[in-house]
Amino acid sequence: MNPTEDRDWFPGRSRVADPGMRLFCLPHAGAGASAYRGWQQSLGADVEVVPVHLPGRESRITEPPEADIRRLAERLAQPLARRAAGLPYAVFGHSMGALLGYELTRLLAGAGRPPALLIASGASAPHLPIAADPPVHLMPEQELLAHLGELAGTPRSVLSDQDLLEMVVPALRADFAACETYVHEHRPPLSVPLLVLGGDADPGVPVDSLDPWSEHTGASTTVRVWPGGHFFHHENREDVMELIAKETHKARQAQQAQEQGQKAPQEQEGPRAGQQPGPASPEETVRRYYTLVDAQDFTALVELFAPTAVYRRPGYEPLVGRKALAEFYGGERVILQGRHAITELVAADGKVAVNGRFSGTVKGGKEVDLKFADFFTLDAEGRFAARDTFFFAPMV
């Protein structure tokens, strides 16, 4: 243990006397711990906000920045575990911070001290490539600054001050290099719940790159999308803070119940090795439904419905029973091919509400990009008793 090194990552004293949980916050590329100024006031006294100070910026400006995500995670893991000090904790990361949070969570879980929740904000799922041509970390300075201006996350006062730029650009380049040279390694899913946040107009993180985060955990995944670009959480701060407060509280309760040998209400369990694939909860049944639709596996899809299930669509006669559903999905269906991306899913008491986005081809060969909203009701055996499509309209 090196107390001096630990203080480098987490300088200052806690402003919360008796927190029930700690929230470690990892910054986006080029940013520092000050990115989370004001979060403590928003989240209240139950959660202690612990901004992480990375090398190469702010109070650690004299240190060389780290240009490798995994090395940075390895350096941070033990100090963070010590700072958690036995309390339940969550990890929040935005953009580069989300990727760092993912690798950090893997290390902490492997050491037997996983977070109760990982919050990935403004970042595509880690196995998806980061599209940048040319790579941002290799851009000439003026192009780099123009790119930062487009993202709207760096104050103009910084972009126009040459002295400040000389201090922040090295960390910026290192951070972008860390992300752009990252190579995902296929490993078994985590057992940590995920909360995935995004903006519907983020130029570098498409909405359909958020739902694939669910492939990296056997626990629950909640995806929420807000209006806005890469820094949507600034534009929707109050709503984002409210959701984080709610989800961290729920995750703390679930982890504490698990440690006491109890099963928390609505706790989700992922598949174990050797289990047959199948839904373990209403939420997972619905997610599987969309996966089967996209794969056009209609035989398996229809099995998710109860024999007398009803599918209602505005303006159409209801479809009743498996035979009618099989004919619809296998023959007269409207969607020919494409991909569904869930942007919001809420499950409670055998009912699941979904907002999402569909991109693909519909009847007649028309290419579409649509929003949809569905409501599923499940019976006692976990099969769909009803599906209602509330709206299915063009993106605006």
Q: What is the bridge-based pairing of β-strands 335-348 and 351-362?
A: antiparallel
Structure tokens that stand for 156 in this block: 């103009």
With beta carbons less than 8 A apart as the criterion, state whether 61 and 225 touch. Answer: no
Distance, in Å, from the CA atom of 308 to the CA atom of 319, rounded to the nearest integer, reads 10
With beta carbons less than 8 A apart as the criterion, state whether 127 and 118 touch. Answer: no
From the CB of residue 65, how many other CB atoms can be counted at a distance below 10 Å?
20
Q: Three-state DSSP class for 382?
A: coil
Distance, in Å, from the CA atom of 119 to the CA atom of 244, rounded to the nearest integer, reads 8
Distance, in Å, from the CA atom of 136 to the CA atom of 132, rounded to the nearest integer, reads 7
Distance, in Å, from the CA atom of 326 to the CA atom of 20, rounded to the nearest integer, reads 50
Task: Show the CA angle centred on residue 192, arms to residues 187 and 197, nearest 5°.
Answer: 100
Q: Of the residues 95, 121, 214, 220, which is catalytic?
A: 95
Per-residue DSSP letter, 116: S
Count of positions (residues) in the chain: 396
Structure tokens that stand for 222 in this block: 């909640």
95 noted as active-site residue: yes
Looking at the DSSP bridge assignments, the partners of residue 222 are: 195
Per-residue DSSP letter, 226: E
Burial class (CB in 10 A: 0-12, 13-18, 19+), 188: exposed
Could you give the dihedral angle defined by the CA atoms of residues 39, 117, 76 and 120, in that order, rounded to the nearest 10 degrees? -70
Active site residues: 95
